[in-house]
Amino acid sequence: MGTLCISGAALFKAGANVSTSLVEADYDYSILQAEALINSLTRYNWIDNYASLNADVKYLLEDACSNLAAIYLINYDMSGYTSRVEAQTMLDVLYDRANKIIKELTDKKVQDFVNNA
């Protein structure tokens, strides 16, 4: 189980047509991978410092983490979606949103906000 988001958030973003062969362990694994990527890309360990974060920052991290985890879930098996275009559009939207958040979290002004929030 992850820290930054719950499996329900990732499943919600993966949509109604996400593969039904996935199990809770798959969701958790996807979340842990997303958390590690966020920590690595932002060069900050959000997990170890989670308790001290402002609620707004936690929501940003939850958004980024659930977006990335949903990408992994959709990528697992796209055959349930109405078309590959539908799945690809979902992947593109999730990727764009996760990238924007991660970019913001690496910005010095945002880091100052996080540290002073």
Looking at residue 108, its pLDDT comes to: 76
For 66, the domain range is 7-116
Q: What is the 3-state secondary structure (H, E, C) of 11-59?
A: HHHHCCCCCCCCCHHHHHHHHHHHHHHHHHHHCCCCCCCHHHCCHHHHH
Please indicate, yes or no, if residue 2 is contained in any of the structural domains: no
* Axis-axis angle for helices 84-105, 55-76 (nearest 10): 150
- Judge if pTM exceeds 0.85: yes
CA distances (Å), origin 105, targets 5, 6, 19, 76, 85? 17, 20, 31, 28, 30
Count the domains in the chain. Answer: 1
Please indicate, yes or no, if residue 29 is contained in any of the structural domains: yes
CA–centroid distance for 38 within its chain: 8
Please indicate, yes or no, if residue 16 is contained in any of the structural domains: yes
Joined together, the tokens standing for residue 86 give 């539908």
Looking at residue 1, its pLDDT comes to: 77
How many Cα neighbours within 13 Å face the side chain of 14? 28
Across the range 30-49, mean pLDDT stands at: 95
In this predicted model, what pLDDT tens digit does every residue of 53-101 receive, in sequence order? 889 889 999 999 999 999 999 999 999 999 999 999 999 999 999 999 9
Please indicate, yes or no, if residue 104 is contained in any of the structural domains: yes
Cα gap 81→101, rounded to integer Å: 26
Looking at residue 117, its pLDDT comes to: 67
